[in-house]
Amino acid sequence: MSVSTEAPPEGLSSKEEVELKDPRREAIWTRLVLPLALPVVSALAAILWILNISRAFLAGSKTTALIIVVIVTVAIMVGAAVMSATPRMRTSSKLLFVAFAFVLVVAAGFVSLGPSEGGEEAGGGGFVPPTGPAVATLEVDALPTLKFQADTFESKVGINEINYVSEGGTHTLVFAEPEFAGFELEVPPSDKGKIDLKAGSYTIFCSIPGHRAAGMEATLTIK
């Protein structure tokens, strides 16, 4: 009676060796689980990548967000190169790398969520509309081209009533000045609100992410 002293293939644990010897289990995994799971996982990964990386790029004015995008991209490229150079890498190691890539992408999106959205959303503060009649009425049109009908507006000192009219698309109108945080008009269909303005120049813009960067911003001069 002879005893086999043949060692298992290098790089395989005893547990993995047993799993490889189970053809039924391997067939279920390769013919049923993988064909169904791969398309779903690939679609989810693509959606996740687009959403989170777009968040980071919307915050392009913030250096931190751009650094995060670079780090994520380089990390994924390096990981892909390592996987290509080591075709015999264990499945568990590949899964760990994919999970790590998901974490990086999600982290990039959430970290840059503040700069990409919060920096433009000037509304949401404790603004209290003034009482009394308006001394002037100002109409601002929101165009479907992500612009107002003019780059500059003029009005009088005192309580102004702003009529916000939609010419296409969903838009908001807020002031960049912190003392007017909370004043927000939204269209469609149309909206209006009163605001007490002193002499000077003010910046109005659409707070929907990406709209201000596209040119939906104007200067309001009060005389």
CA distance 55 to 49: 10
**Domains of the chain and any CATH numbers:** 14-118 (no CATH), 136-222 (2.60.40.420)
Tens-of-pLDDT digits for all 223 residues of the chain? 555 555 555 555 555 555 555 677 776 767 777 677 777 777 776 776 666 666 655 554 455 556 666 776 777 777 777 766 776 666 666 667 667 766 766 665 555 554 444 444 444 457 788 988 999 999 999 998 999 999 999 999 999 999 999 888 889 999 999 889 889 999 888 899 999 999 999 999 999 999 999 999 999 999 9
Cross-strand pairs, 143: 147
CA distance 61 to 164: 28
Check if the beta carbon of residue 41 is closer than 8 Å to that of residue 66.
no
DSSP characters over 78-111: HHHHHHHH-TT--HHHHHHHHHHHHHHHHHHHHH
Provide the CA 38 distance to its chain's centre, in angstroms.
Answer: 25
